Amino acid sequence: MRLRWRLTFLMVLLALLPSVPAALLTRQLIERSLNLGLSREVDTALEAGIRQTRLIYRRDRRALSDELDAWLASYRESGPAGLAESWAASPPQGMLRKARVVLQTQGRLEVLQAGSAESGARPATSDSPHGPPPFLTTGRDLPGIGHIDAQLAIDPQWRTDAESLAATLQVLRSLQTDRQELEQSFWLPFLGIYLLTLLASLGVAAWLARGIVGPVDRLLTAIRAVARGRWDVQVPVESHDEIGRLSEHFNTMVSTLDTQSRQLVDLEKMAGWREMARALAHEVKNPLTPIQLTVGEIRERYDGDDEQYRQLLHECTRIVIEEVESLRQVVSRFREFSRPVEPHFTVTDVNALVADVAALQRDLEIETDLDGGVGNCEVDPDRLRQVLMNLASNARQALAGREDARLRLATRPDGDHVVLVVEDNGPGIPVAERARLFEPYRSQAQGGLGLGLALVKGIVLAHQGTIEVEEGRWGGARFRIELPRSVEKESEKDHE
């Protein structure tokens, strides 16, 4: 399984694991809550409360009826006096005292007692389907007189409590009937939230896995490219975490390997050229002395009297001896080139060295740009001066005949390295020739052997540096030399 899918699966699993106990706990809480709220004990208690409410209502209504019967009995005992007069003369006590009493005789209504404020104009029927009627009512037929009714308002708070009991019992029994739907109503929001959480976890997991695996995939692709010999591969650095630092170190490593590989190739080429120069110098040097001696002996041993021939012989031998001497100088240069460069490193003020070289170029317009941050570096000052003088000499030859001949010498720091720049406003070097410019015997100068720039590169390589040629700001050749500040520290980094 690929790393991306393993990370996604792991993150989703981490999101799922806490949800399992959460789901079990939620289920238990729902069941306990429903069992507690919809328990039989609650149902029984509510039924008992409603029964007590009904008993109290019936008791009060019976008491009101009994008080009305008792008063009517006393009325009959009081004689033939009118009912209204008897009520006024001997009003009842107890609950009937607070009731609204109405006498209906021959189609006429007569209010014997208005009753309490709550009873005035209140209907005689219940205004709630769950509670008792709002009034206690009772009545009696009076033969020969009519009909009497008594109506007593019930305590509103008591009636509200009774209605609440009845409504609660009805809701409870409705919930008990729909218990399964009620459980689903609790579970569905939980499942919906859980599903959204799961989808969000999948999205976040995929995003995180992509953020982790993407840079790793790019690193693997870059490693494969390096394995195929591509040293110009760079991985984009998109973060500052461990993956970002790994990408930075990879880029640094590839750049270092690229530089070292090019230096190694250059060193191998230089070693080959030096071996060839050494062999050539040896092969050329050996016959030079016999040739010179033989020619001299020929000239000395001629004792004829042909003066014209004698002059011709002297001229020819002179030319041969001069050319032999010229070949000796060439052999000396070959021998010098064939010797490995062994620099003697000392702490040197590079800016001061460059300024000295600039002061010696009196026949050119010199521009210097020396950065004070360069400071002291470990170099071979004699060899580095030789490099700068050689490049300045080449520039002078390229600028021959120009009135505005200019030469620029510059330095600047670059991390653990320093950069030296030598550029002119000459015709420049074609792009096609730059790649092989530092190979021996590539000189374009008349009478040159093409060893100057090769020797320059050998000295730079001995300093563990690099040298490149490009187009300068003035359109001429621009040589860029990069040297480590400390060869020892650089070596220690290689071992690390």
DSSP string, 378-442: EE-HHHHHHHHHHHHHHHHHHTTT-TT-EEEEEEEEETTEEEEEEEESSS---HHHHTTTTSTT-
Q: What is residue 305's predicted lDDT score, i.e. its pLDDT?
A: 78
Residues 55 and 146 in one domain: yes
Contacts of 195 (CB under 8 A, 6+ apart): none
Q: Are residues 175 and 182 in contact, defined by beta-carbon separation less than 8 angstroms?
A: yes
Structure tokens at 319: 């030319």
Q: Does the residue 224 lie in any domain?
A: no
Residues 406 and 445 in one domain: yes
Q: What is residue 140's predicted lDDT score, i.e. its pLDDT?
A: 86
- CATH number at 294 reads 1.10.287
Q: Does the residue 127 lie in any domain?
A: yes
Q: What is residue 179's predicted lDDT score, i.e. its pLDDT?
A: 64
Q: From start to end of 310-405, where are the E strands? A: 346-349, 365-370, 376-379
Domain edge (last residue) among 301, 317, 338: 338
Closest CA to 389 of 353, 365, 418, 429: 353
Q: What angle do CA 268, 269, 274 make, to 5 degrees?
A: 100
Q: Does the residue 108 lie in any domain?
A: yes
CB atoms under 10 Å from CB of 437, counted, come to: 20
Residues 166 and 258 in one domain: no
Residues 325 and 386 in one domain: no
Domain edge (last residue) among 315, 338, 361: 338
Structure tokens at 377: 């570096």
Q: What is residue 378's predicted lDDT score, i.e. its pLDDT?
A: 93
Total domains in the fold of the chain? 4
Residues 383 and 457 in one domain: yes
Q: Does the residue 431 lie in any domain?
A: yes
- The residue ranges of the chain whose pLDDT is under 50 are 1, 79-80, 117-127, 446-447, 489-496
Query: What is the DSSP code (8-state) at residue 97?
Result: G
Q: Is the dihedral of CA 289, 292, 294, 296 positive or negative?
A: negative
Q: What is residue 39's predicted lDDT score, i.e. its pLDDT?
A: 66
Structure tokens at 297: 């002996």
- CATH number at 451 reads 3.30.565.10
Amino acid identity at 157: Q
Distances (CA, A) of 478 to 128, 276, 394, 466, 474: 105, 29, 12, 14, 9
Residues 92 and 131 in one domain: yes
Global pTM?
A: 0.50
Residues 420 and 485 in one domain: yes
Residues 316 and 372 in one domain: no
Residues 375 and 481 in one domain: yes
Q: Does the residue 400 lie in any domain?
A: yes
Residues 353 and 484 in one domain: yes
Residues 469 and 443 in one domain: yes
Structure tokens at 418: 């320093």
Q: Is 315 exposed, middle or buried (0-12, 13-18, 19+ CB in 10 A)?
A: exposed
Residues 113 and 194 in one domain: no
Q: Does the residue 486 lie in any domain?
A: yes
Contacts of 232 (CB under 8 A, 6+ apart): 258
Q: Does the residue 480 lie in any domain?
A: yes
Domain hosting residue 61, numbered range:
40-177
Q: What is residue 348's predicted lDDT score, i.e. its pLDDT?
A: 94
Q: Are residues 451 and 440 in contact, defined by beta-carbon separation less than 8 angstroms?
A: yes
Q: Does the residue 101 lie in any domain?
A: yes
Q: Where are the alpha helices (DSSP H) in 90-136?
A: none
Q: What is residue 31's predicted lDDT score, i.e. its pLDDT?
A: 64
